[in-house]
Amino acid sequence: MSLPTILEVIAGSPADASGLAPGDELVSINGVIPNDVIEYQQLVDDADPVFRLRRDGRDYEAAIVKPEGAPIGLRLGSSIFDRVQTCDNHCAFCFIYQLPPGMRTSLYLKDDDYRLSFLYGNFTTLTRFTELDLARVVEDGLGPLYVSIHATDPDIRAEMLRNRRGATSLRWLAALLESDITVHGQIVLCPGINNGGILERTLAETITRFSRLETLGIVPLGLSKFNSEDELSVHTPDQAASDLSIIAFWQEEALRRIGRRIFQASDELYVTAGIEVPAADHYDGYQQHENGIGMVRAFYDEIDRMERGSSSTAPIVTGEWRSVPAAPAEGYRAIRHASPDPHPDAGPLVVVTGSYGRAVLEPVRRRLEGLAAREIRVLEVPNEFFGGNAAVAGLMVGEDIINTINRDSEPAGAYVIPDVALSGDVFIDDVPLADVIEHASAPVVVAPATAAGLVGAAR
């Protein structure tokens, strides 16, 4: 077990007043050695906790004076202090197996840890879940959790996970729901494997066996050019339309039987099928927005509000992806871009995005131009790095963006890059934003992937 390191001490906080400093290692709190940031947060919520810390190899104690429940003022460098529960499945469709070699080590980590599900919205299969884990989740109320279901047929699920425990691990899902833990589910839809009739069975059995499930997101398989599994294929437009028809039927069945639609299809399926995304009420409060579900409808509705002059131009709240104050920002909570952006030059805003982004933006481009009071051009970035059907903006890499901008010969007042492509100021291929700026013939602006963010980039 590694000791968590203090990354930040908030000025003027109880921790600051007690002399704690960045770089200190946390040994224990009130004599208890916490295993993760969740247990840490429970301990520091007490009044006047006593810390045992290590600085420069020597231990010392600090009694921190604060009321019960008051913030202590620390941010730690890790969220799991003992060993992260890694995934022992070998799913053919796992995108980690489709990454090229030589990328940063953290991208290859397969976790199946319910704590990371609670903290960051990571999906777990529950194949390594135990009675002890269930007891802790229920006792501490660790919800919502996010569970990969894929199929309710035991044999098909075990085959998809390439793990015999996949046939039985959904018993833990039932136990969580019976204990009133909020759970969101996911199906990665693989043509010829768990779509069509298998999908119908999964949705029907979800209504009968797991009716307390908050939502069940259905996302299409993503393939890169590094895929080595011959049986995998991406959705054709006709397959996407057929699966969407199945989902729509069972949405209405769920609404009729239990009063909620539960089932929500990924935006990618609608884009692939060429079908308009449904209205906002199909998304049950956009609780799987960060999973690529409902983003298009939220974006379009945001434009409607802005055109009406609504004072609320921010996107609709996107669900319950949890955080603990001391946990480091990861995944969807990570800082996307911290540097100030330049003002655009005269000329059109050039929105740099993937092919799915282009399909979403082109139908409303004129409306966005009216709101931004300047010309907008959409520049599609072919994803040569990953290949396959990697077409979302979040998987754009610096190398492909540089190549696309270098080939762009049309006028540009600024190149606008959606912040979802960045972690800090680095793209997923470890190319820094500074390299893109260096190659661009106009200012580069990083903007939130919202209508307000795009329009705000014009100013």
Q: Which tens digit of pLDDT belongs to each residue from 351-397?
A: 999 999 999 999 999 999 999 999 999 999 999 999 999 999 999 99
Place 102 in a pLDDT band, splitting at 50, 70 and 90.
confident
Provide the 3-class DSSP secondary structure of residue 27. Answer: strand
Domains and their CATH numbers in the chain: 6-76 (2.30.42.10), 95-307 (3.20.20), 335-456 (3.40.50)
279, pLDDT greater than 80: yes
Residue 200 is predicted with a pLDDT of 98
* Mean pLDDT, rounded, for 435-443: 96
Separation of alpha carbons 186 and 221, rounded Å: 12
Q: If DSSP codes are grouped into helix, strand and coil, which group holds residue 444?
A: strand
Query: Residue 312 — pLDDT band, cuts 50, 70, 90?
Result: low
Does residue 344 contact residue 458 with C-beta atoms inside 8 Å?
yes
Distances from the Cα of 350 to the Cα of 155, 214, 330, 442, angstroms: 49, 39, 29, 10
pLDDT bin (cut points 50, 70, 90) of residue 323 is low
Answer whether residue 456 shows pLDDT above 60: yes
319: left (phi over 0), alpha (psi -120 to 50) or beta: left
Cβ(290)–Cβ(284) under 8 Å? no
- pLDDT for the residue 273: 97
Would you give the distance in Å from CA 212 to the centre of its chain? 23
The CA-to-CA distance between both ends of the chain, in Å, stands at: 49
Q: How many CA atoms lie within 13 A of 129 on its CB side?
A: 26
With cut-offs at 50, 70 and 90, classify the pLDDT of residue 311. low
| AA identity, residue 376 | I
pTM to 2 decimals? 0.93
- Confidence (pLDDT) at 206: 98
Question: Which token pair is 39?
Answer: 């247990």
**Alpha-carbon gap, residue 282 to 248, rounded angstroms:** 10
pLDDT digits (tens, 9 = 90+) for 264-274: 999 999 999 99
The CA distance from 429 to 426, in Å, is 8
Q: Judge whether residue 319 has pLDDT over 70.
A: no
Look at residue 328 in the predicted model and tell me its pLDDT: 85
- pLDDT-derived band at 104 (thresholds 50, 70, 90) equals confident
* Pairwise CA distance, residues 379 & 444, whole Å: 13
Residue-wise pLDDT for 124-144, tens only, equals 999 999 999 999 999 999 999
- pLDDT at position 322, please? 59
- Residue 315 gets which letter from DSSP? P
Neighbours of 135 (CB within 10 A): 11
Q: Which of 437, 443, 447 is nearest to 412 (CA)?
A: 443
User: What pLDDT, on the 0 to 100 scale, is given for residue 332?
Assistant: 73
Q: Which of 243, 182, 234 is nearest to 213 (CA)?
A: 182
- Reduced DSSP (H G I as helix, E B as strand, rest coil) percent helix, strand, coil of the chain, to 5: 35, 15, 45
